[in-house]
């Protein structure tokens, strides 16, 4: 089987400082990959390099495109990459306001990607937006309200709806449950798990919350100082960590 | 008394503006940056349009200025006087006699002909500004033809008002490529933008942008399949000349709240009255 995403030797430096170094892995269709590690370990840097928000200094990010098969997204043209960014890829930011248009209604936020790919029927766009609000458990009566009137958890669910409406094949998430209350986190995690399963999504989730990867990720990469120090099936890594740093990470969580 | 160069601006500045105009004509709808000069009038008075007019006027031109369709507002009079003084050009109020027409907020009712130039005063040239304040991002959106956001604006309109409520500065797509703000003309005028025989030039002074439509350019107003564009106007005939095809202003005519609808294009209305047409409110 062709990997959906094949990452090879990704390195990103900030001046002399290393953001992430020599990261390689394959992600297969339907798989969810978790990336964990302490603050500053390079998780967001790696994610942003893969999603095209940062240009790495070295490496390839090969995506299996619908029309042309595997293509290196780092060397493809910017228009092509931006097109991927609003069709086959989705990006869920930690802070919903970074991923939403706060001055636009919930319906407009969800409809934007549809309009960006050429949908021109108002009724259809609105129906799809309303349907997606329902799928992320936001009442249809809120379709014309702005996200500024939503709670943090609702904003995050709206961001997810806005990203998934065009049926992307790969979702990048950076701390999607960060900054939310514990009970709100749990509900969001349940929702995400349901969506990933129902839509057969592939996803890469950055988090420092091991409970999140336990629930969502099939596989896990542990990062330290910009490098991957351990990778494997989630349960294996969490239950039987091999690397001393992973052991520390797992045990420090278990102590909480 | 101060001696001015012809049409106030120095030759080098006019050359720079002409280059921007030519580039604009070569890439219809594309916003060309230019180094806007201080003009002896405030920005709100159409300094962008004035600089474009200064760059295209020649001593033989016949110049007309309209503001909301009228030749006699303070703004129109002062710009007309400015070029009378600095360029010594002849002026007119007759649309068909003018070779250069500077306008704010309207396109004349009478169809323009080849050889004429229509110069628009533009306050905000960037149609994407409403939803995307970052200039770096809007420039990228234009260059990559990412115009989904324009429809988000129209979507918001319909969701709030039940129909597309944008009635001025209604966005258009030029030759299937650039999305353009036609300046705050009423959407009633949008259909005249396309396939026009005259050259159309747009000048934004404060924002330092010039854009253009060469003659006979395709211009399409954005819309949805189920909410098509409509060039609406008040559903009345003109009270003075009886015209049913012109854009109307609503005037309050007495203390009792009496109203009357009258052509916003004063030249058009007067010409019709002179030709014997009479509306129901005409004396
Ligand atoms: N724009 C930047 N300029 C310079 N250094 C940066 C920049 N962004 C990140 N870094 C550095 O790169 C390293 C990796 O940062 P990164 O943000 O990827 O970590 P992270 O694992 O996402 O951390 P966190 O869990 O706190 O979000 C850190 O040492 C950080 O200080
Ligand atoms: Mg981070
Ligand atoms: Zn009239």
Task: Find the CB nearest A108 among B159, B225, B226.
Answer: B159
Same domain, B79 and B109: yes
CATH of the domain at A126: 3.40.50.300
Give pLDDT, residue B225: 97
Residue closest via CA to ligand 1's atom 29 equals A40
Total domains, chain B? 2
Give pLDDT, residue A255: 44
Per-residue pLDDT tens digits for B94-142: 999 999 999 999 999 999 999 999 999 999 999 999 888 999 999 999 9
Give pLDDT, residue B90: 97
Give pLDDT, residue B273: 97
Which residues of chain A make contact with B227, given a CB cutoff of 8 A?
Answer: 122
Q: Is the pLDDT of residue A226 over 70?
A: yes
Same domain, B175 and B259: no
CATH of the domain at B211: 3.40.50.11310
Domain span at residue A78 reads 5-253
pLDDT above 70 covers what percent of chain A?
98
Total domains, chain A? 1
Q: Is the pLDDT of residue A25 over 60?
A: yes
Residues of B catalogued as catalytic? 29, 238, 241, 263, 269
Distance from CA of A155 to the nearest CA of B (A): 18
Contacts of A103 (CB under 8 A, 6+ apart): A146, B131
Q: Is the pLDDT of residue A187 over 60?
A: yes
CATH of the domain at B269: 2.30.170
Give pLDDT, residue A253: 62
Distance from CA of A112 to the nearest CA of B (A): 6
Residue A191 token pair: 């929702």
Per-residue pLDDT tens digits for A29-61: 999 999 999 899 999 999 999 999 999 999 999
pLDDT below 50 — which residues of chain B?
A: 1
Asked, for residue B43, whether it belongs to a domain, the answer is yes
* Chain A positions touching chain B (beta carbons under 8 Å): 78-79, 82, 86, 101, 103-105, 107-108, 111-113, 115-117, 120-123, 125-126, 143-144
Rounded distance, CA B279 to CA B251, Å?
Answer: 15
Give pLDDT, residue A92: 96
Distance from CA of B210 to the nearest CA of A (A): 26
Domain span at residue B96 reads 11-126+169-221
Contact A166, A117 (CB under 8 A): yes
Angle (nearest 5°) at CA A170 between A53 and A83: 55
Per-residue pLDDT tens digits for A124-180: 999 999 999 999 999 999 999 999 999 999 999 999 999 999 999 999 999 998 878
Same domain, B17 and B39: yes
Q: How far is the CA of A61 from the centre of ligand 1 (A)?
A: 20
Query: Ligand 1: does its nearest atom lie under 6 Å from the Cβ of A41?
Result: yes
What pTM was computed for the model? 0.89
Asked, for residue B260, whether it belongs to a domain, the answer is yes
pLDDT band at A181 (very low <50, low <70, confident <90, very high): confident
Q: Give me the mean pLDDT over the A78-91 stretch.
A: 92
Q: Report the atom number in ligand 1 closest to the C-alpha of A38.
A: 25
Q: Is the pLDDT of residue A69 over 80?
A: yes
Strand order in the sheet with B209-213: B32-33, B209-213, B199-204, B117-121, B100-104, B62-67, B90-91
Q: Give me the mean pLDDT over the A15-35 stretch.
A: 96
């Amino acid at each position: 089987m062709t990997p959906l995403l094949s990452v090879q030797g990704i390195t990103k430096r900030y001046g002399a400082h290393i953001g992430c170094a020599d990261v390689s892995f394959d992600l297969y269709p339907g798989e969810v990959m978790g990336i964990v590690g302490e603050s500053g370990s390079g998780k967001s840097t790696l994610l942003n390099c893969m999603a095209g928000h940062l240009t790495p200094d070295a490496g390839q990010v090969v995506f299996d495109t619908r029309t042309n098969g595997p293509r290196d997204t780092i060397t493809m043209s910017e228009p092509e990459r931006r097109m991927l960014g609003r069709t086959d890829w989705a990006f869920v930011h930690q802070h919903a306001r970074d991923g939403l248009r706060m001055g636009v209604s919930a319906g407009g936020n969800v409809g934007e990607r549809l309009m960006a790919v050429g949908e021109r029927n108002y009724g259809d766009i609105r129906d799809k937006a309303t349907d997606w609000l329902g799928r992320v458990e936001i009442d249809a009566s809120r379709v014309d309200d702005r996200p500024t009137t939503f709670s943090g958890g609702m904003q995050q669910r709206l961001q997810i709806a806005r990203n998934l409406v065009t049926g992307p094949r790969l979702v990048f998430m950076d701390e999607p449950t960060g900054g939310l209350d514990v009970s709100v986190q749990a509900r969001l995690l349940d929702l995400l798990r349901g969506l990933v399963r129902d839509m057969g999504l592939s996803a890469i989730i950055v988090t420092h919350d091991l409970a999140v990867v336990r629930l969502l990720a099939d596989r896990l990469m542990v990062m330290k100082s910009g490098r991957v120090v351990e990778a494997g099936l989630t349960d294996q890594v969490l239950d039987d960590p091999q690397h001393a740093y992973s052991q520390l990470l797992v045990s420090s969580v278990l102590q909480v | 008394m101060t001696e001015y160069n012809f049409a106030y601006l120095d030759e080098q500045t006019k050359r720079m503006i002409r280059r921007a105009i030519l580039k604009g004509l070569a890439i219809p709808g594309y916003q060309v940056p230019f180094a806007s000069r201080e003009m002896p009038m405030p920005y709100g008075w159409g300094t962008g349009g004035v600089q474009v007019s200064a760059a295209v006027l020649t001593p033989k031109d016949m110049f007309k200025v309209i503001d909301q369709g009228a030749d006699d507002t303070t703004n129109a009079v002062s710009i007309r006087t400015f070029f009378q003084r600095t360029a010594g050009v002849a002026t007119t109020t007759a649309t068909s006699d003018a070779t250069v027409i500077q306008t704010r907020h309207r396109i004349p009712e009478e169809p323009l002909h080849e050889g004429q130039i229509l110069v628009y005063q533009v306050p905000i040239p960037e149609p994407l500004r409403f939803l995307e304040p970052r200039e770096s991002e809007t420039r990228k959106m234009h260059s990559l033809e990412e115009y989904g956001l324009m429809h988000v604006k129209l979507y918001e309109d319909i969701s709030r008002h039940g129909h597309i409520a944008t009635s001025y500065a209604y966005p258009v797509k030029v030759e299937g490529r650039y999305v353009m703000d036609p300046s705050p003309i009423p959407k009633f005028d949008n259909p005249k933008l396309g396939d026009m025989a005259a050259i159309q030039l747009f000048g934004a002074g404060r924002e330092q942008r010039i854009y253009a439509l060469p003659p006979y350019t395709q211009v399409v107003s954005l819309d949805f399949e189920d909410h098509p564009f409509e060039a609406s106007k008040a559903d009345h005939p003109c009270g003075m000349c009886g015209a049913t095809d012109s854009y109307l202003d609503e005037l309050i005519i007495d203390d009792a709240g009496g109203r009357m609808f009258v052509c916003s294009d004063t030249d058009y209305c007067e010409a019709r009255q002179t030709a014997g047409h009479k509306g129901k409110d005409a004396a």
